[in-house]
Every structure is written in structure tokens, then in C-alpha cells.
Amino acid sequence: MSYDVRVFDTIQAVKRVKGETYRVRWKVGGEPCSKTFKTSTLAKNHQAKLRTAANEGEPFDVETGLPLSMLPKGRPPEEAANQQGPTWYEFASEYVAMKWKGIAGGTRRGVAEGLATATLALVSWEGTHPEPEDVYQALSTWAFNLPARRNGLPDGLAKTIGWVESRSVSLASLGEPDVLRKVLQQLARRLDGESAAASTYARKRATLSNALSYAVEKKYFEFNPLLRVTWTAPKNTEAIDRRRVVNEAKGHALIVAVGRQGATGRHLRAFFGSLFLAGHRPAEATALTEDELALPTDPEEWGWLDLGDSSPQTGGTWTDAGGREVRSLKHRSVKETRPVPVCPPLGKPLRWHLAEFGTAPDGRLFRAENGGLLSESVYTRVWEAARIDALTPHEVKSVLAERPYDLRHARLSIWLNAGISDAQVAEWAGNSVPVLRRVYAKCLTDTTEQSLAKLGRARSKGAEAPGVLDFEEDAALVSLEEASWYELAVSYIDWKWGTVKPTTRRGITEALTKATIAVLPRSGPWPTDVQLGTALASYVFNRDRWSQAPDQHAAVIAWIEDHAPPTAALRDPEQLRIVLAHLGRRLDGQPASAAVAARRRSTLFNVFEFAVRERLLPSNPLLFRSWTDAETGSRMGHGQP
């Protein structure tokens, strides 16, 4: 069979003894073919059939020169079926295998979803069949996921996949316009039958078009059949809704509100600041490292960022590493960087962040509580709380800065309205100029003011673009009370004592005693560990016996008060590692059980949270560091009591 078909326009009239005959000529696979008819009408009809079959992408038999639909009935059906090519399902699986290696995890997921949706329209639903939702799930999570296929077909999906294989139409049938219209209608709907978003339809249609272009490469079609199908697609509006975009003042208020959302909020304040003041994508800010920063020594001067990596939120099943990965910037090659200016209001929180939280071992500034990659669910949760904190109830219900990504939209809009050239903004933002103008066309408010001014209208009072606001650190973040570790521990036990059971009191007392012994300087023979332990556990941290300490223990307690380090000393990771190691040992020096170590670490965690609340520490030192399980007694995370 061949798709290389040429039908000649001219019908030859051949004079014979019994009158004229009419010959139709065409070529299949370069081989000449012809057929003679007694009348010109019959010849024209045959010529039209050949052209229709060729235009619809139907394969032609090289031997007979006829399209598949016109083959003689005596031809064995098995042979005709074999010449018809693969089924749609077989071809789609082949396309995924070809495409997989060269695309990112998010794109892989999009390809799988697009092919799965198209397949719903390319199987026969007659008779008994599984639910469409089950078919879509099996296709999108297994059939069109290369690593999942390599792991074998799960028993729970075998029946559904077998049904799809047996009911899939031939790939050649996509040469028929009616079949393609059915597919396009499916792409424009969700599984529940409602209309899909225009952007979703556009993305899935692009997947179908690329797959059919691959079919042309494989010579299943002479040209992409999708190109000649007339179809009114849902309108896709790329332009950003200007109602989402915040101004400088509102953006400033939101970033400050982020810093009020507990320990995680303080850690993410500079993260959201980079989205708003540098126009980063969230995935780019997630992968930001210290070596990409070039901050001047003078905090009032501008610096630079050379972005080189991105970490989009994609499930491990779609990545080569089996987990979330750090990859090159969007639309950029590996190792290609993008320069972005750092204004002084962004440089200040970045410096504060580095001083307070340091970096992960690989240099990342922002991370999860256990030191891993920052999750979209974590920063989205903080953002939702900040919106409620900073916006009015009406604004909270609106789309104003509804998503963290809207901060990037705001910065790019502000740059454009400030008169910065399209090419310069596009370079800083990592977009092309056409996309930039198309997406942010509705946000160019200054253009309207300037146009009306040319017509004689006075510039409105509120039309002046506000200057870049200065992100000075909040008093709540930098104005801290001074206290020693001893004073913190005593304050915590006073606050906690009356609210917990006796068994819990004993556990808290034990943990505070071991932590206090670990932080005290030991340069002399007195007091001994036994004396320290007795004074602390029996009197200092036992509020029922606090006033009953005998003279010898009172002297030890006085020594502890004089020698206890400041609370801020425990922000030093090395000092904190010493404390954690001490909490993980028994009195005889042997390792404590995992449960005991975790319970003690839990107490220390809660003491630090108390210190943050009392403004003795700016953040919990146990959070946002890459502690190992051995160092902390158990895994850090949101499950921490």
C-alpha cells in the first residue's frame, strides 16, 4: 500500500473502430495506472472517487492502483486489514515512546491527557463497555506513560486496556473529516460533558496535530488531515485579566502579610518577593540558588540575578528521576541563564533570608520544612492565608492576585507601564516579544492615559504610577526580645505545666533537662552532669517543687542561670546538632530508641515555636534545614506535634 498518489487532471479520449473511449490516468507509488471507460461521465466519476480517496488519506494498493475502499471483494479481508496500517491506539502508544525522551515532565503529562481524551472518541462504544472515566484513567496513567508501561500492566487495568485495544479504530480512519470532527468535539469537552476551558482544548488539539504530523513522517498520511477540517474552536484568550493584577501598594501589603503567616510565612517572604519584584515564575524561585545572586555590598544599590534552573511541580511518574526534578529554564537550553535585575527592596529580604535560614546543601534558598524541594501546596496555602490577611473580604472573593503566579503578571505589567521596552521586559521575563504583547495587552493602563491626554483630557490624579515601595523589615521580624536559654525553658514550662498530664510533664522535663545540659559550657569539674540533671529535673523543671530546692541544688541552679547561653545561640546549626545528638542518647551514652528521640525532639520543636511566638527567635531553627533522620531522631515535616 502507498499514500504516494497522483491523479492526472486530463482524461484522454481514445478513438477506436467502435467509437471513442475515455482513459483515466494516475500514479501510485510512482507506478503508472489507468482505466478506460466507454463514456466520459463514467471516467469522470472514477477520477472523482480516486481524488476523494487520496484527499482523505486512504492508502492505495500498488498492485491494482485502487484505494482500500475500492479493492475487489474477492481480496482476502485479512490481507486488506493488514494493509490498513495500525490502529489509533497502537499508533498513539508508538508516538508516546518516540516523544517521551525529549520533553519535560509537565509536557509528558499534557501529551498523555491529550491522547487519552482523543482516544475516547476513537473507540467503538457499542455493547458492554467500561465507564469513560475508567478508560481515561487507564490511558492517561498507564497506556501513555512510558515508565508505567515498563513496569507491566496492573491487574486492575488489564480488562480496560484490553477493551481499548479491541475497540480502537484504524489510524487510517482519521483521514475522514467526520471522524476528526468527532475527535475535536471530544477535546472540547470535559469528562462530565461540560465545556473544557479554551486553553485546555488548544493544548490537547496541539497534541493531536503533532501526533498526526508524526503519522505523516511515518507515511501513514500524505499530509496532516487535521489541516483540512473546518471546525470552530472555543475562543482562547491569552491576555491576562487585568483584574488579577495588583499595583505596587497592594503587592507590598501582600508580601508583608506573607511574613505574618508563622514560620513558613517568614521563610517564604523573600520567595514571594522575588515573584513580585523580579517577575519570577514560582518554579524558577523554587530552584533559586545563592550562586545565582549578585548582591552589592551597599543595600541601596541594585544587584542582579542570573537564573539558570527551574523546578516545575510535576509528579514523579512523569520524570526520568522518578521524583520532582530541577531542570533548565522554560524555553531555554541547558545551562542557558536569564539575567534579572534585583532592586534594593528585593535585595534586603534576600539578605535577611540568607542570614536567617542559610541555604540547602545544594545552595537553594527556599525549601520545605525538611530541607527538600518547596511544594506548590505549601506556598499556595501560605498565599491563601496572606490574601485573607491583607485584602478586604470583597477582594478575597475576587480574582485579585488569586494565584501566586499573578505576582509575576503584576511585575511584568508594571515594567511595561513604566515605559521599559518590550524587548528588555521579554529578556528579563523569559518570554518572546509577541507573547508578551499578546498576554499583557489589557494591562497597559498608561497607554490609555497617554492617548486620552493627547486628545486634551487632563491626567487623572491617580494615574501616576507609584514608585517602587521599600520593603523594610517588619518590626515583628527584626525587633526581638533578648533571653537566655534558661529563661526560655523556664518560661515554656511555666506556660505548659498546668495544661498537660503528669506523664507529659515528665517527658517535657526530661527533654528540657537533656537539652539544657547540652547547651551549657563545661570547662570545669563542677558541677557534674549528675548534679546538673538532679537540679534541673527535680526542681527547675518541676514547678511543684521549684521553691523546695535545698542549698546545694540552689547553688547549681544559680550556676546554670549565670552560664546559660542566649537563646539565639541555638540558631547556629552546629550548636543545634550537638543538642539533637544529646537528645538521641541515654544516660549511659547508648542511642535512645527512635520513639524516645522523636518525643524529645518534639518537645524542643515546641519550645522553639513558643520562642517565635514570644519574639525571642525570628523563626524555628529546626525548620527549613536539611536535617537527616539520624540528627533529628525522625523525619521533619508538617506532622511535627
Per-residue b or e along 581-618, where b marks 16 or more CB atoms closer than 10 Å to that residue's CB: eebbeeeeeeebeeebbbbbbbbbbbbbbbbbebebbb
pLDDT recorded at residue 339: 87
Look at residue 471 and give its three-state secondary structure: coil
Comparing 71 with 324, the larger pLDDT belongs to 71
pLDDT recorded at residue 300: 87
What's the pTM value of the predicted model, to 2 decimals? 0.62
Residue 300 DSSP symbol:
T
Question: Among 26-35, 57-66, 247-256, 298-307, which is the least confidently predicted range?
Answer: 57-66
Q: How far apart are CA 250 and CA 400, in angstroms?
A: 10
**447 pLDDT above the threshold of 80:** no
Summarize the confidence of residues 137-149 as an average pLDDT. 89
| pLDDT, averaged across the chain | 83
Domain covering 242-463: architecture: Orthogonal Bundle (1.10)
pLDDT category of residue 547 using cuts at 50, 70 and 90: confident
Indicate the domain borders of the chain. Answer: 5-83, 88-228, 242-463, 485-632
Q: How far apart are CA 395 and CA 295, in angstroms?
A: 35
**297 pLDDT above the threshold of 70:** yes
pLDDT tens digits, one per residue of 329-350: 555 545 677 888 999 899 999 9
Going by C-alpha positions, the residue among 137, 154, 136, 148 that lies closest to residue 100 is 148
Maximal CA-CA distance, the chain: 140
Going by C-alpha positions, the residue among 194, 268, 289 that lies closest to residue 234 is 194
pLDDT recorded at residue 312: 54
Question: Among 7-16, 178-187, 507-516, which is the least confidently predicted range?
Answer: 7-16
How far are the Cα atoms of 301, 315, 319, 373, 403 from residue 324, in angstroms, in the given order? Answer: 36, 6, 7, 8, 21
**636 pLDDT above the threshold of 50:** no
Q: How far apart are CA 568 and CA 573, in angstroms?
A: 11
